[in-house]
């Protein structure tokens, strides 16, 4: 059994709560510890003290803003790449000893309680960034955000999951026409930036086999995207590619300021 709630998603902060029968994990802490505590309570009647481990994808502030507080309140172990650790080491000095910390390596699965965790490399402008796949029994979830493109290697690792938390960061036209400086636009659009709605749909189509999947569109830009537009773009591209694709994908929303309801993988 695997359940999860996206506590926050977007360029202002990201965090996902994942639990099985025996184990509770927090993936990223990009909002304050207090907000995470509140949303955990609202969405899952859970608290930070019940978290067994905290996993981190990369050092950008929208993923680590509340990490110190979370480590303090949870008492769980920290799972992090060595590259990311270099950037957060200082802020965690007082709350994370060597014994509390495990270095993860891309493509090397490990087990926390009854959840198997597989980190994999993503192309993003951070030091040794990763994303993760989680498996417990028959249930599987991949949380894939903050990447410029979805490589074949990634597709190989995450194929077959029942649920995806899946980046649809921006609409290319909104981004191009928007007020960001060109250097920032170029970064977002580049190979180490973020997935556009279009790229998101095309990569997703490659993962579809003959079955339905749940897709939680995530990390939407506040400035350069809209939930309706993201859904519409993804759906229409899938439909253009194949009449059945759009029917196989059940799209769901995530939000900046509220947690998604706790959901079991595989439930309708």
Interacting residue ranges for Zn ion, rule: CB under 5 A:
60, 62, 146
Q: Which is nearer to Zn ion, 216 or 246 (CB)?
A: 216
- Distances, alpha carbon 82 to alpha carbons 15, 87, 130, in Å: 20, 9, 11
- Distances, alpha carbon 23 to alpha carbons 51, 76, 137, in Å: 8, 11, 13
Q: Which is nearer to Zn ion, 135 or 146 (CB)?
A: 146
Taking the complex as a whole, the smallest distance from the CB of residue 221 to Zn ion amounts, in Å, to 10
Q: Which residue is nearest to Zn ion (CB)?
A: 60
Q: Which is nearer to Zn ion, 23 or 185 (CB)?
A: 185
Q: Which is nearer to Zn ion, 30 or 162 (CB)?
A: 30
Taking the complex as a whole, the smallest distance from the CB of residue 173 to Zn ion amounts, in Å, to 21
- Here the tokens at position 136 are 């417990």
> How far is Cα 18 from Cα 194, in angstroms, rounded to an integer?
23
Taking the complex as a whole, the smallest distance from the CB of residue 63 to Zn ion amounts, in Å, to 6
Which residues neighbour 64 within 8 Å (Cβ) at sequence distance 6 or greater? 28, 29, 30, 56, 87, 88, 91
Taking the complex as a whole, the smallest distance from the CB of residue 255 to Zn ion amounts, in Å, to 15
> How far is Cα 220 from Cα 224, in angstroms, rounded to an integer?
8
Q: Which is nearer to Zn ion, 76 or 148 (CB)?
A: 148
Taking the complex as a whole, the smallest distance from the CB of residue 242 to Zn ion amounts, in Å, to 30
- Here the tokens at position 140 are 């599987």
Q: How many C-alpha atoms does 84 have within 13 Å on its Cβ side?
A: 28
């Amino acid at each position: 059994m695997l359940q999860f709630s996206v506590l926050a998603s977007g360029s202002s902060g990201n965090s996902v709560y994942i639990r099985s029968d025996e184990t509770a994990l927090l993936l990223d802490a990009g909002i304050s510890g207090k907000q995470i505590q509140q949303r955990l309570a609202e969405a899952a009647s859970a608290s930070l003290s019940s978290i067994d481990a905290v996993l981190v994808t990369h050092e950008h502030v929208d993923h680590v803003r509340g990490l110190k507080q979370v480590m303090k309140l949870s008492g769980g172990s920290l799972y992090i790449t060595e590259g990311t650790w270099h950037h957060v080491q200082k802020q965690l000095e007082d709350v994370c000893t060597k014994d509390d910390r495990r270095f993860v390596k891309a493509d090397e699965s490990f087990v926390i309680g009854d959840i198997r965790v597989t980190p994999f490399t993503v192309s993003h402008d951070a030091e040794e960034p990763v994303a993760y796949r989680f498996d417990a029994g028959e249930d599987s979830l991949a949380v894939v955000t903050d990447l410029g493109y979805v490589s074949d290697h990634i597709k190989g690792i995450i194929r077959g999951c029942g649920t995806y938390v899946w980046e649809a960061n921006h609409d290319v036209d909104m981004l191009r026409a928007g007020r960001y400086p060109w250097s920032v636009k170029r970064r977002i659009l580049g190979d180490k930036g973020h997935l556009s709605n279009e790229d998101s749909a095309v990569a997703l189509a490659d993962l579809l086999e003959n079955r339905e999947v749940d897709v939680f569109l995530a990390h939407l830009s506040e400035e350069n995207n809209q939930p309706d537009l993201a859904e519409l773009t993804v759906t229409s591209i899938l439909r253009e590619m194949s009449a059945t694709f759009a029917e196989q994908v059940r799209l769901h929303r995530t939000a900046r300021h509220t947690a998604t309801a706790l959901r079991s993988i595989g439930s309708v």
